[in-house]
Chain A
Amino acid sequence: MTTATDSVELVGEEATGNVARAVLFAAATSATAPVDMVHPLAPNVPITLQTLWVYLAGVVLGPLWAGVAFTLYLLAGLVGLPVFAGGNAGLGVVLGPTGGFLIGFPLAAMTVGAVAHGLDGLTAPDAIPVPRLVLALVAGTAVVYAAGAVGYALVQAIGLVAAVSAVVVPFLPVAGLKIAATVAIARSDAIVAR
């Protein structure tokens, strides 16, 4: 058997591992989209766990590959995979009322990763000091909700204050819960040093 094997540029072992994890994070994010949870204080606000995966990606994959994971998520949705909340997809959704959140995901994942790990090299998630971890998650949350509110205001042509009260304030208590959960997960044995 003869194939011109020297012309094949293999993707290295490390990059292959990172691609695989980015893909699995993107798929997990869309699989968690519908979750039957009800917040006791705000039973009318649906709880979706996409941002939990945004946080986890930043903490586990670091800024570069967390960014890749959620760029993949966004692109997959743009070309029609049913990855957005409610099994939706398409450019119309990204340019729709909640599209700011979707565009905010890659930015937030990168922010969490950059604050938690810095820009050169990764730290084992359970070795990141808790205050730094919390700071990273709060910064990521700020990015997601800022993007979400600005997107809502632009798309619906309404004021920023109205947008914030519609799409940010009701979700903040749950965001706090997710941050607390993420800190606990980063300290658990689900994240083995790699």
Chain B
Amino acid sequence: MTITVEGYTYRYGETLAVDDVSVTVEDGEFLVLAGANGSGKTTLVRGFNGLLTPDRGTVSVNGRPVEDDPVAARSSVGMVFQDPRDGFVAATVGADVAFGPENLGLSRAAIDRRVADALDAVRMAGRGEERIDELSGGERERVAIAGALAMDPDHLVLDEPFTGLDWAARRSVLARLRGLREEGVGVVVVTHDLRDVAALADRIVVLADGVVAVDDPDPDPAALAERGVRPP
């Protein structure tokens, strides 16, 4: 279950956002994709499950090009967006988490099981009837993670998951990510700030101006700071 990106190139009008990037995310790997604002990291990960189609280059999940089977790519690579407030589809926790499995056409019993398991994995078990708008920021982030987990993904991609969270909420989200890693789910965290996640990372890839500037299990802090990334 690897994500293989080759020669990924994407432009917005005249601006080249991602320029010929090749990167492989291994099964079960905890990868941190770092970079300053506008370095192209969000544009890159949105290609991982075919939400964006690159102008040039290919993305395959488990050896299969994402455009050949977008449903498989999107269930295999779960995506948690920055500011999850716009990503919820239902007013209550359980109904939101159920949305993905419902679309996959699973049986009611299988859906209920997946919702229960996903809520359990983010320590929100038994809170399915609560209204999303009444949750704290950290709880909301965890529900967004559960929504992606309910698709039973092999990889989970999180875009700036710590933005706007206080210390306690960041810790609770980090603990969940650590748990997922132990269960063998691949995790990709997109961030400009390595302080929270560096200790969990198997590898750190830094994008600068749309190209890979650093790809190292334990990069030099000075090299990070130079690319607008806050070192651990």
Contact = CB atoms under 8 A, between A and B. Distances in A.
User: Are chains A and B touching in the complex at the 8 Å CB cutoff?
Assistant: yes
Interface of A: 1, 3-8, 10
Contacts of A3: 71-72, 75, 104, 106, 152
Nearest to B69: A5
Contacts of A10: 70-71
Given A1-B75, A1-B76, A7 B105 contact: yes
B154 interface: yes
Nearest to A81: B91
B154 A1 contact: yes
Given A8-B71, A10-B70, A10-B71, A1 B105 contact: no
A6 B104 CA distance: 10
Given A1-B76, A3-B75, A8 B152 contact: no
Nearest to B75: A3
Interface residues of B, number: 12
A4 B105 contact: yes
Interface in B70-87: 70-72, 75-76
Contact of A8 (B76, B105, B154): B105
A1 B1 CA distance: 10
B103 interface: yes
Pick the 8 closest A-B CB pairs, nearest first.
A5-B71, A8-B71, A5-B72, A1-B152, A3-B104, A7-B105, A8-B105, A5-B69
Contacts of A5: 69, 71-72, 75, 104
A4 B72 CA distance: 9
Nearest to B72: A5
Nearest to A3: B104
A6 B68 CA distance: 11
Nearest to A1: B152
Contacts of B69: 5-6
Contacts of A8: 71, 103-105
A8 B70 CA distance: 10
Query: Among A4, A5, A10, which residue has the most Cβ atoms of chain B within 10 A?
Result: A5
Contacts of A6: 69, 71
A49 to B, nearest CB: 23
A1 B104 CA distance: 13
A4 B110 CA distance: 13
17 contacts: A1-B152, A1-B154, A3-B72, A3-B75, A3-B152, A4-B105, A5-B69, A5-B71, A5-B75, A5-B104, A6-B69, A6-B71, A8-B103, A8-B104, A8-B105, A10-B70, A10-B71
A97 B105 CA distance: 43
A170 B88 CA distance: 41
Nearest to B74: A10
Contacts of B152: 1, 3
Contacts of A1: 75-76, 152, 154
A1 B103 CA distance: 16
B113 to A, nearest CB: 14
A4 B103 CA distance: 12
A6 B64 CA distance: 14
A52 B192 CA distance: 41
Interface in B93-152: 103-106, 152
A1 B75 CA distance: 9
Nearest to A23: B89
Contacts of B71: 3, 5-6, 8, 10
